[in-house]
Structure 1
Amino acid sequence: MSKRITHFASRYSSTLDRLKEAIRRKRPGLLRRGVVLQHVNATPHSANLTQQWLQRYGWEILPHPTHSPDLAPSDFHLF
């Protein structure tokens, strides 16, 4: 794995750490029930470091194909 990919995967894992802490503070029961995370297949998201992080905490990944017409950026306000 190149240094660049490792760097981005490390930063993404740090972001997931902050997300986990925010969920723990704001919605503690959610972590016990399990978290389903949706992200694209970008390199930092699919890197081994990120996959190990997700397995360690038992977070599930909701499959989402790249360039899916189901969810456009303009639809985010609906959620």
Structure 2
Amino acid sequence: MHTRDVLTQWLQRYGWEILPHPAHSPDLTPSDFHLFGPLKRHLGGMAFETEDDLISELRNWFDNLDVDFFRVGINSLLSRWQKCIDLHGDYVEKSRGLR
């Protein structure tokens, strides 16, 4: 049984309403709109000789993120979710050409 199915059954058993949503939406996935953009910009132009070099740089980047980086990302979720609802699930950033 898929983990999603187990979770769905558990939520239903305890009376939680299951809302329909896309399997993957870049507007709703915090890592897509808040994490990967800055990480992509940070890594842009870098070259790594080994996988270990890349892993080391990733660890360094994550270790040096300020708590405000995460606070801003979490605080922006509500407005992103509302935009997605207002656009009936359409991609929020599509009109601005961001990818």
Q: TM-score, normalised by structure 2?
A: 0.27
Q: TM-score, normalised by structure 1?
A: 0.31
Question: Looking at CA atoms only, which structure, 1 or 2, has the larger radius of gyration?
Answer: 2
